[in-house]
Amino acid sequence: MRSRQKALLVVELAKAKKAEDIVILDMRKLSNITDFFIIATSSSTARSQTIIDNIKESLLNTGESIASIEGYREGGWMLVDAYDVVLHVFSEEARLFYNLESLWADAPRVRLCQKKRKKTTKRSKKTSKRK
């Protein structure tokens, strides 16, 4: 699996378990450590652990390797190192404190596809009068 494809899969797996404010940073021209950073926020340690568990299980089931998982017990900042893709799951406070998006501000962001909302047409308030 290519690294971009893996990053997008990790995002979908994180979204499925209610990760919020997800950002993908393309690190390929800035770092030789990894190709993509994924940064997400979670509302609780238990939810963060669920996100991590889902990603770990799914990646291993697709034949991908995981180098390490860090911060699983602590909960403020959890990390999944899948070699070419690194996922960071933060509590809101930790994400603001560490501010990886600013630290890696030179990294291009990968656009995430948003589900299109159904357009609702507003009816005109003008009504035609029949005589």
Check if the beta carbon of residue 79 is closer than 8 Å to that of residue 69. Answer: yes
Residue 65 inside a domain? The answer is yes
Residue 83 inside a domain? The answer is yes
Residue 11 inside a domain? The answer is yes
Which pLDDT tens digit goes with each residue over 14-66? Answer: 999 999 999 999 999 999 999 999 999 999 999 999 999 999 999 999 999 99
Which pLDDT tens digit goes with each residue over 93-107? Answer: 999 999 999 889 889
Determine the pLDDT at residue 75: 82
Residue 21 inside a domain? The answer is yes
Determine the pLDDT at residue 128: 47
Residue 120 inside a domain? The answer is no
Residue 27 inside a domain? The answer is yes
> Distances in Å between the alpha carbon of 48 and those of 1, 24, 27?
25, 17, 23
Domain carrying residue 45: 3-110
Give residue 124's pLDDT band: very low, low, confident or very high (50, 70, 90): very low
Q: Which residues of 58-93 are buried (b: 16+ CB within 10 A; e: fewer)?
A: ebeeeebeeeebebbeebbbbbbbbebbbbbbbbee
Which pLDDT tens digit goes with each residue over 76-96? Answer: 999 999 999 999 999 999 999
Query: Which of 21, 54, 12 lies closest to 40, judged by CA?
Result: 21
Number of domains in the chain: 1
User: Which residues have CB under 8 Å from 85's CB, separation 6+?
Assistant: 3, 6, 7, 10, 34, 35, 36, 38
Residue 115 inside a domain? The answer is no
Residue 21 belongs to domain with CATH number: 3.30.460.10
Residue 62 inside a domain? The answer is yes
